[in-house]
Amino acid sequence: GESVGLHLPTLSVQEGDNSIINCAYSNSASDYFIWYKQESGKGPQFIIDIRSNMDKRQGQRVTVLLNKTVKHLSLQIAATQPGDSAVYFCAETPTDKLIFGTGTRLQVFP
């Protein structure tokens, strides 16, 4: 129900530390994955994507790791900054649909 959804998993990190946000996906047929960042009052913003034929992809300060064996995805943020504070969603595409996972709230403290 909605009350359960309100209790987002939360990761609190100190500014400058590295953050790791995890996501378990459900469909072994998914071949494309995306991480989104959603700040308060805004729509999800694309961060990085990865195809199932890769196990790692790096962007600017972000790295996505994919473990298909255990259906696990992670987002690593290097040198976390206050502007990284947001809710992060992973999304999978078992077909052409984008299916979002449960979000994780990242809180960055000084």
Nearer to another protein, 51 or 79 (CB): 51
Using the rule CB under 8 A, which residue among 13, 22, 32, 76 binds another protein?
32
Piece in contact with another protein (CB under 8 A), picked from 3-11, 53-61, 63-71, 76-84 = 3-11
Nearer to another protein, 84 or 103 (CB): 103
Q: Which of residues 62-81 bind another protein (CB under 8 A)?
A: none
DSSP E strand stretches across 25-110: 32-38, 45-51, 56-58, 62-67, 72-77, 86-92, 99-100, 104-109
